[in-house]
Structure 1
């Protein structure tokens, strides 16, 4: 059974669909055939704005984990062979620091249903028993309801639609690269160096590019917009919430007069 055909969920999905098609109709006089594409971007930004508190929670959790990393590493060194003691000491540390090892996880889990519903608007050909007309729209000659892989099998006449898909996938890859290089937190003092496996896992986000090639263009643009928003959001929030930056500075002694 398709969970999105369940009554209450289908109604919410249909409301989201009504919003995106309404946005498309509103910008159509100015955007022309690109109105559907712009509606996808606008709806994605609206949803990510609503989910901004989740980003705040995750950034704060990042700084908490980084601050406690040296102490956790020391506990691992001392009690690594005694799992029960290690677990107890770890929880004691979090309690002392008034922190939680699960900080940021609950808000992250709560956003999954919202993101899933929005993603369904851009992938499901049928919504609440009627056709998803958004997927029948085109942007710069590219059908929003066709994937890059699907277009490659369409034979002749795929240009300039193919160019739209290639640009979208290239932008996703570019944003992913920026995310890996710019948003990586500095290594905490005393924390263990990343292992080869951890370093290898840092390349996993590039799977998004492969995934985007198999979903409709509307969904690929959603992925691009959401990923770019995440990069910008983390970049800004990490500077606003950085404990080192926000900590009060000491009094600077005046330089002696000459």
Structure 2
């Protein structure tokens, strides 16, 4: 084994165990209500694996959002540095990094979730690919489970197969192509959502914006080209992961947008409308309460006390005769 192979094995072996522990545990849980050998059971186990991994990466996603937000807010100052030191690339780089350091942000933090997901993605790919080609397990995934995973079918299609390895099987090709398109669309939508709603106008110009625009179109194409070589199980993982990212980003943009962005303006309008509705509802409630207040009963006429005939005769006598 070469030195690079040894390093790769040293890095990937713990990931094989980590992924296989979650995958096998999820499969045991899912097998309580689905046949263990079914593609539905293994596909759902991959979905659970995806959700567990993405939930574990939430702290890194928060750091990514903060770093990306700070990068956008610093773009006007970066432009000023570019005007000032545009002739000196080394000085420009030094001053830009100093600006980021003083602001407490790290431009590389925005890449952390993707960078950490790639080894996990690769480990899952190798796990499924090894099961498909050799029917052998990795980590705690046994050979019997690897064989079961290899033969597992979802809607009549083996989830261990790839578009390239379909060998004319149209079912495999259709499912793989559908998931590749879903992966492409979700990747593009997530990136587009960020640029169109949560980036100030000043951040849509300059080199940082150009990088974002390039990624907007390049990343989906890269994933689409690479996706034809991914097993269907891996495509399920990546599509679900993209949906998680899209939903998570939508929530953050809606509730904590960058100041001066269309998302911030939309949030201000929603807050104003909510405050107006709240005030109107209070006034309406008060009026309804007043309208529905019980009417005060009319005063009743007090009935005179009953008297005997002697008392009535005595009371009706003239004043001088009452002796």
Alignment partner of 1:168 is 2:179: yes
Pick aligned residue for 1:127 from 125, 137, 157 = 137
Q: TM-score, normalised by structure 2?
A: 0.63
In structure 2, what is the equivalent of residue 30 of structure 1? 33
- The SS at the match of 2:165 is helix
Question: Deviations 1:210-249 (Å, cap 9, x if unpaired)?
Answer: 21111111111111111221222222223344353599x9
Q: RMSD over aligned Cα, in angstroms?
A: 3.3
Distance apart, 1:201 and its partner CA: 4.2
Q: Which structure would you say has the larger Rg?
A: 2
Contact 1:123 1:218 in 2 (8 A): no
For 2:237 and 2:159, how far apart are their aligned partners in 1? 11
Matched residue count: 244
Is the Cα–Cα contact under 8 Å of residues 148 and 214 in structure 1 kept in the other structure? yes
CA offset at residue 110 of structure 1? Answer: 4.7
Q: What TM-score do you get using the length of structure 1 for normalisation?
A: 0.77
Can you list the C-alpha shifts for 1:53-78, whole angstroms capped at 9, x where unaligned?
11111111111010000110111011
> Does the CA contact (< 8 Å) of 2:73 and 2:203 recur in 1?
no
Change in 2 beyond 3 A, CA 1:171/1:9: closer
1:43 alignment partner in structure 2: 49
Equivalent positions of 1:26-175 (< 5 A) are: 26-32=29-35, 33=38, 34-105=40-111, 109-125=115-131, 126-128=136-138, 131=143, 132-133=146-147, 134-151=149-166, 153=167, 155=168, 158-175=169-186
**Greater RCO structure (CA 8 Å; 6+ sep):** 1
Partner of 1:228: 243
Structure 1: gaps of 5 or more residues: 250-258
Gaps of 5+ in 2: 272-323
3-state secondary structure, aligned to 2:129: coil
